[in-house]
Structure 1
């Protein structure tokens, strides 16, 4: 930078190179742990959702975030500061399944963190819902994360799960998290999609994950473990 002096074009090019290098480094860092091969163990998606919410809030130290577990409709916001309310409405009939605890917790954390960033610094609501569904193919956990945030532009929606989206388009690393989440969800024989989003009106993300009676063979824990 010292050699280019005040040349605006050169400085702009250097800034672009620096941003791309940081983004590439973030891609590598975020891929290392979530995509590490882990055995599928018996777990419950509701427990992982609750853990992801707490982990997301504690690790990032988000101010003025309240978590309400299945609150009554009469709950109101009486705080002086703009509040972000996370409401969890989880189906307690959701049975246990087999999954990678670390990977699925990361997927849920990404969705919650993205929703928080889409709302703050304003007040708003995030509603996390789980329910048991079924069809001829089996039983599924249907999970939605709905926020009242800024929404996602249509041109960005078309790229969400196809490649990492630069942070200038989708906030701090959010597009990368969704890209990795899709890889993880597919490895669990599931589906993740953006159900709806409109600038200024929030977003709805949906996951459908099969309830597995036993882990896939490639993810089984050997008897010696």
Structure 2
């Protein structure tokens, strides 16, 4: 039973770190896609959204190629700093962040597109700097949509399985997240542990989804 709570704590840590990474990148790239016009913009959006539709095992393989010891990023980290990402909780964070990133990106882009550009222009006319316009006008008007996407990403990170298993493995107390612990419990015939883990996961995800739906921008009534 103690291992179940350890897996829950690890899942929360992984999900929080992954969501924090996605939030920073999602806000930046979501604003770029919503406000800038450049060749290949929609292609970039499609590439960034690809993890939403790609099989998790395929993403896990790509991550192994990139952050593995023989990969370009993993090899550089190992040679320069002695860091090995594979089979660590940090690898689980990377996997969860990649899988959940499109949820933050889509939510942020949609939220920024609903902000009236004339309000931003008015702030510039009044002498507010570019970063000031974003922090004082754009982001406060778009925060509900951004936060809704972020909560969905957190719920997705909590349930990540395929890519995490490939790059982080299933080491109890180190890389065995909640979803992987459920799989291992079922395989071992530990129905009580599996039922507990499933219940905790379900309650957490439902609570997050309800909160996200409440924070989502209100829909316009049909004429």
Report the TM-score, using the length of structure 1 for normalisation.
0.30
Q: Which has the higher helix share?
A: 2
TM-score (normalizing by structure 2): 0.30
Which has the larger strand fraction?
1
